[in-house]
Amino acid sequence: YQHNGQKYSVLISLGYYNELGVQLTQGFERVSSQFALDYRGTKSFRWGLSFNAALNHQDWGADVYEIALNQNPLALPYDDAGNILLQPENHPFRFNPLLSIDGEIDDRNTKRLLSHVYTEFKLGKALSYRLNLGSDLLSQQRGVFQEANTQARRGGFKFALYDQTRR
């Protein structure tokens, strides 16, 4: 865009991404946006700013496939009545991977904002001065829950964790 010899450039972008994981307990979702403005007042003066924001949600989940690979392939996960067996092969440290599908939760949320402002002065043909200021704001939360009868806890106590980071 140009008005009275002054040029403006504007960029606006929105994005959405959603991916289901290979297994039931996993997935990833992101919403992102970008805004940028560039202003050239004269041949020797210019300034601009930009903002990038993203919201991420990830269901990390349990690694059910790895747990299943460590099981005896001949062990049956259900009893004759159709109930899930706790330890299909009667091994003290190997629990049924089906119990980890609903019994383990690992949710991770991230919010991030990147911003940038600059101004530039041309001082001659081959010389210019540019001042850049930027910020990176980050907020992360993680929530974990594991039932007692999952491979992660191996019959021990239930486990819960909430962790939060901001910078």
For the segment 120-140, what is each residue's pLDDT rounded down to a tens digit?
Answer: 999 888 899 999 999 999 999
pTM value > 0.85: no
Is residue 5's pLDDT more than 70?
A: no
Which residues touch 24 (CB under 8 Å, ≥6 apart)? 61, 64, 101
Reported as a pLDDT band with limits 50, 70 and 90, residue 90 is: confident
Q: Percent of the chain scored above 70 by pLDDT?
A: 96
Task: Report d(CA 29, CA 93) in Å as an integer.
Answer: 34
Give me the helices (H) in 33-119, please.
Answer: 64-69, 98-103
Task: Report d(CA 74, CA 84) in Å as an integer.
Answer: 15
Q: Tokens representing 145?
A: 């829950």
